[in-house]
Amino acid sequence: MLVSINENDSLPIYLQIARQIKEQVLVGELTVGDELPSVRELGDALGISLHTARNAYQSLSDAGLLQIRLGKKARIADLDLVSRPTNAQLLKLREDARDLVVDAMLSGMGAKDVHEMMDEEMDKLRLRSDEVPPGARGRGK
């Protein structure tokens, strides 16, 4: 697992970490059962507080992406066991998407530009996924 912090990003550090781990799961760089560094190891490696590292892992656990057990390292959860998104989760995703569109359009982007930006981001994730060796992909090892 490779995570970096961008001090110039307005996104809180714990959400930067969570976003990068989510992307790594999405593209197959992290798979079911993979252990993540302990909160202490993550904090030491990134020079962040244990509280910040714990918040990152907790947000991923709340989303069903991590299994956290006291005294054990966090592991990537079996996504096949995660239920379909709840209405509350779908509503939150819609609100996040709306915020993104509003911010983009306030920055001067038109609807076509926003669509192109989203398509580019989807393509980047697909390309990263394609670079993962077939044996490293999947729902388990």
Each residue of 59-84: pLDDT tens digit? 999 888 999 988 889 999 987 766 57
Could you give all domains of the chain from N- to C-terminal order, each with its CATH number?
13-136 (1.10.10.10)
Each residue of 5-33: pLDDT tens digit? 999 999 999 999 999 999 999 888 999 99
What is the reported pTM?
Answer: 0.72
Contact between residue 64 and residue 26 where contact means Cβ atoms under 8 Å apart: no
What is the band of 131 on the pLDDT scale with cuts at 50, 70, 90?
low
Structure token digits, residue 126: 């697909």
Residue with tokens 């379909």: 84
Q: How far is residue 92's CA from residue 96's CA, in Å, rounded to a whole number?
A: 6
